[in-house]
Each structure stands twice: as C-alpha cells, then as structure tokens.
Amino acid sequence: MTTNLPRTPARPKARGPNTLWLLGPALLVLIVWTQIPFLLSIYYSFQRYNLLYPNRRGFVGFNNFVSLLTDPIFWTSLWNTLVLVGSVLAVTVIIGLFLAVLFYQEFPGRALARTLVISPFFVMPVVSALVWKNMLMHPVFGLFAWIATSFGLKPVDWLAQFPMGSIITIVSWQWIPFAMLLTLTGLQSLSKEQLEAAKIDGANAWQEFRFIIVPHLAQTLSVVIMLETIFLLTIFAEIYATTSGGPGLSTTTLPYLIYLKGFTDTNIGIASAGAVFAVILANIVATFVLRLIGRNLQGSRT
C-alpha cells in the first residue's frame, strides 16, 4: 500500500467539503434496515418468544441456542447446507472453467453462443425450479423419464429418489454461468505473450492449460468460490418450490430450517438463534472476501 502512494492521483483530499449530507442518507438506510434487524435477531435469540403464546415472553439466556444445538435437525440441516454449497461449488467451478476455456477462443457466432450459455443466470430461481421439477424431472411425463424409457431404462423419480442431487443439479445450472462469466473475464486478462512463449517451448494444450492458465486463474477462481459461497448459503426459493425441504429432512438447509422454525412453528426465539448461526457462518466466508476486495481497493487506487 505504501509503495503505491506516490502514484495516487491528486484528489482534493485536504480541502474537501463536508460530504456527510451526500453519504449520510445511504448509510442511514443501510444501518436502519440491516444492522438494527440483526441486533434484534440477537436480542430475540435470548428470548422465549413464540407468536402463538405472545404473553409467555422472557429472557432465557442461552436456552434457545442449547435446544437448537442439541436438536439433531439442526446438525442435519447444517450438513445439508454444506453438502449443497460444496457440491454446487465443485460442479460450477469445474464446468464453468471448462466453458470459459471453450469460449475463450474466437469462433463464428461466439457472442450468441455465450449469451445462450449465461441465460440460466437470469431466470428467476422459482421458475428454474419449477421447470426442472415438472417438465424435466417428472417421473412419468418429464423429458428425462422419456429419454430413459426410450433407451429401455427405468425412469427415475429424481426429486424423490435423489432429492439433494436434484437440487444440486438445478442450482448448479443456474450458477454455472456466473462461474463461467467471471472465469472468462479472468482469462481475458491473461497475456498473449505468455501463451505464445509456451507454445514455442513446445507445450501441448494440456500443459498450457495446467501450467499457465490454471495458476493465472487461481485468484479469479478464489473470488468465484467465495462469492458463490456467500450467495449459495442463502439458497431458498429452489428448495421452497421443489421439495419443501423433504422428503423427510433430506433437503432442509439452514436457511430453510430457520424459515420453518420462524414461519411454520412461529418460534421466534429458536429461529433467531438459527439466524445468528447463519450470519456467523456467512461472516467466516465474508471475512476472506472482504480482505481480498480490500486489497484490490488499495491496488486500484494507484
């Protein structure tokens, strides 16, 4: 940071006017609607509070946390969350990388093909969930069932037999474009000279990929992984519209469990304790992202 200082442009720092009235309203809105509700979440997490029994309220210390942590459902949902996020990450990063390399080359119609590839990202999660659930994965009339039977195979009831796998597929389909687009942007900042030099040295396509492209992409991929993790930790609509967390608990993730505790059981205390956990989980990842972005912020000011 200090080494970059001499090249900092002469922005009128010292004689800058008071700009609080420009920045203030935006910050105030953000504080009021993000920080205060979160403080309330923390407050409720120490309260006995069920909307059905509004009179039986009171401070209960860590009771909500204890009953949450001793409930096997919580650990199942936490595990499901990790499985969902981890699997979608693996699928999207690998396929996204592959697609980015494909679309890095120029070919006729590339812009159109790229547009088609990234389209799933713009589809409402509710719509993608319903299209996959009904028209593709339906055990009798779905397209997959038809493909299976035309090959003489037994059709699979995907969402019943492989609920988590099905959700991973749907969510991955939506997020592959994100990984691909970011990776492609990262690739395009790769210098041509390096690749040419490798070719002159007799590197084949695989070596070129393994020893030049992958290392260069390490930073890009880490951004993809961290940002995706933050977004994926909040996946809700896809589960709501397909399995509603079932069968059993097999697709109940932490956000979905909090939703069930809060809106089905109307147990504000327990749901808030779960919410505090969800925020802690997201914060662990966010710390890394913020550090990375912060470093870029310093660098780009040169």
Partner 1 sequence: MTTSKRPRWELTVLAYIAAFLMFFPILWMFLTGFKTEADAFVLPPKFFFTPTLESIHAALSRSDYGGHFMNSVISAVGSTLLALILSIPAAFSMAFYPTKRTNGTLLWIISTKMMPPVGVIIPVYLIFLRLHWLDNIWALMLMYTVMNMPVVIWTLYAYFRDIPAEMMEAARVDGANTFQELVNVLLPVSGPAIASAALLSIILAWNEAFWSLNLTSAHAAPLSVYVSSFKTAEGLYWAKMSAASMIAILPVMVMGWLAQRQLVRGLTFGAIK
Q: Three-state DSSP class for 66?
A: helix
Based on the shown chain and the rule CB under 8 A, indicate whether residue 302 belongs to the binding site for partner 1. Answer: no
Residues from 84 through 143 that contact partner 1 (CB under 8 A): 99, 102-103, 105-110, 112-136, 140-141, 143
Binders of partner 1 among 224-283, rule CB under 8 A? 227, 230, 233-234, 236-237, 240-242, 254-255, 258-259, 262-263, 268, 271-272, 274-276, 278-279, 281-283
Token pair of 141, please? 């009339």
C-beta closer to partner 1: residue 87 or 103: 103
Q: Is residue 10 involved in binding partner 1 (CB under 8 A)? A: yes
Residue among 3 and 115 whose Cβ is closer to partner 1: 115
Q: How many CB atoms lie within 10 A of CB 162?
A: 15
Q: Does 53 bind partner 1 (CB under 8 A)?
A: no
* CA 277 to chain CA mean position, Å: 17
Q: Should residue 48 be labelled a site residue for partner 1 when binding is judged by CB under 8 A?
A: no
From the list 191, 204, 207, 296, which residue makes contact with partner 1 (rule: CB under 8 A)? 296
Binds partner 1 by CB under 8 A, chosen from 33, 62, 75, 211:
33
Burial grade of 145 (CB within 10 A; 0-12, 13-18, 19 or more): buried
- Confirm or reject binding of residue 179 to partner 1 (CB under 8 A): no
Decide if residue 209 touches partner 1 (CB under 8 A).
no
| One residue of 11, 151, 200, 215 binding partner 1 per CB under 8 A | 11
Q: Is the CB of 87 or the CB of 138 nearer to partner 1?
A: 138
In the numeric block, which tokens belong to residue 27? 């910050």
- Across 279-292, b (16+ Cβ under 10 Å) vs e yields eebeeebbeebeee
72 or 108: CB nearest partner 1:
108
The encoded tokens of residue 275 equal: 């919410």
- 61-69, 85-93, 207-215, 293-301 -> range binding partner 1 (CB under 8 A): 293-301
Q: Residues 194, 235: contact at Cβ < 8 Å?
A: no
Look at residue 234 and give its three-state secondary structure. coil
Distance CA 87, CA 165 (A): 9
C-alpha span between 30 and 36 (Å, rounded): 9
Shortest approach of partner 1 to residue 68 CB, angstroms? 14
Contacts of 117 (CB under 8 A, 6+ apart): 99, 103, 176, 177, 180
- Is 68 near partner 1 (CB under 8 A)? no
Instruction: Give yes or no for residue 201 binding partner 1 (CB under 8 A).
Output: no
Instruction: Show the tokens assigned to 168.
Output: 């991973």
